[in-house]
Amino acid sequence: MSDDTPGTRWLSADERQSWLALSRTLITLPAALDAQLQRDAGLNHFEYVVMAMLSEQPDHALPMSQLSSVVAGSLSRLSNVVKRLEARGYVRRDGHPEDRRVKVAHLEEAGWQALVAAAPGHVEHVRHLVIDAMRPRELAQLRNALLKVLDRVDPEGRSVITEPT
């Protein structure tokens, strides 16, 4: 790019290399996660995350709007995914007991079993691709850096995943 555009803060060589490394990771990591889960469990990564987030709830259920925030996906994308998971008997949607307009996603027993079967391979793959590639200090630095980026792309903290209690 030309550096003569007034007011444009072009990336330095180091900044550009960092951005390109992140950009390549954003493209290749999801594909690698999807390939492993599809091969081993017949799920894509987003389907797995939806079921995993439901599994961490005390009653294995969340209103769709809340689940959408937790999995950082649009409500329409989530609805399509839940529809596919419903067809497989992994998830069901019911009306909220206090407000029938609100739909609640529930992880079914078959979904729980599929998740339990998929988790060991998925965790091992995540460990291989990401966790074991770094020393503990580097991993902490990565987490801290990514949390700073998340604060900018999600300032309301809608996609924050809390540890299960």
In the sheet that holds 61-63, the strands lie side by side as: 61-63, 103-107, 91-95
Of 23, 22, 40, which Cα lies nearest the Cα of 124?
40
Task: Give the residue extent of every domain in the chain.
Answer: 30-153
Residue 165: per-residue pLDDT: 39
Count Cα neighbours of 110 within 13 Å in the Cβ-side half-sphere.
8
Each residue of 113-122: pLDDT tens digit?
Answer: 999 999 999 9
Residue 164: per-residue pLDDT: 46
Q: Does 151 have pLDDT greater than 80?
A: yes
At residue 136 the predicted structure's pLDDT band, cuts being 50, 70 and 90, is very high
Give the percent of the chain with pLDDT over 70.
Answer: 93
Positive or negative CA dihedral for 133, 134, 136, 140?
Answer: negative
Cα angle 26, 32, 35; round to 5: 135
CATH class for the region spanning 30-153: mainly alpha
Q: What is the pTM of this model?
A: 0.86
Each residue of 56-68: pLDDT tens digit?
Answer: 998 999 999 999 9
Q: What radius of gyration do the chain's Cα atoms show? A: 19
- Higher pLDDT, residue 154 or 16: 16
- Please measure the distance between the N-terminal and C-terminal CA atoms of the chain and give it in whole angstroms: 50
- For the segment 130-146, the average pLDDT, to the nearest whole number, is 96
Of 67, 134, 128, 59, which Cα lies nearest the Cα of 97?
59
Each residue of 73-87: pLDDT tens digit?
Answer: 889 999 999 999 999
How far apart CA 165 and CA 162 sit, in angstroms, is 9
Q: Does 105 have pLDDT greater than 70?
A: yes
